[in-house]
Amino acid sequence: MKKPLLTLLTLLALTILVTPASAHITASVQLTPSVLLPGDTAYGTLTLTNKGTTSIKVTGVTFFSDLKVEPKSISSIGYIPPAGSYELPFRINAEKVGLYT
C-alpha cells in the first residue's frame, strides 16, 4: 500500500524555540521518494529558515511518527541568523503497510 509522505510536516515538532517577537522561522521538507512501499527507504531534508530580523536559537528538533525516522531527534542546533537556514538530513523506513499522514 502506498504511503503519502507529503504531509510529513505534521509529523514533525520543533521542541523548543527561544525567539524574540521579531523572529519568524519556517520549516520545509524535501523527501525522495514521496511515496513508499513496505520495506522502502526515503531520504529527506528538513530545512529551518529564519525569516526574521534577529537570530533565533533552536535547541532541538524531534520527529514524531509511526514510521522509523533516523535521527529521531537532534539537540544543540544553535543560532540561525537572519535570512539564514539550517538543514537536517534524515531517513525514513516504511516497515508496515498503512497510510501515514
User: pLDDT by residue (tens digit) across 12-68?
Assistant: 444 334 445 566 889 999 999 988 888 899 999 999 999 999 999 999 999 988 788
Question: What per-residue confidence (pLDDT) applies to 21?
Answer: 52
Question: What per-residue confidence (pLDDT) applies to 13?
Answer: 42
* Residues 56 and 76: beta-carbon distance below 8 Å: no
Domain range annotation of the chain = 3-93
Q: What is the pLDDT of residues 75-87, one digit of tens each?
A: 988 999 999 999 9
* Residues 86 and 48: beta-carbon distance below 8 Å: yes
Question: What per-residue confidence (pLDDT) applies to 76?
Answer: 84
Q: How many CB atoms lie within 10 A of CB 93?
A: 14
Spatial distance between the Cα atoms of 55 and 19, rounded to a whole number of angstroms: 8
Identity (one letter) of the amino acid at 19? T
Query: Which numeric CATH code is attached to 3-93?
Result: 2.60.40
Spatial distance between the Cα atoms of 63 and 77, rounded to a whole number of angstroms: 15
Question: What per-residue confidence (pLDDT) applies to 100?
Answer: 62
Question: What per-residue confidence (pLDDT) applies to 83?
Answer: 94
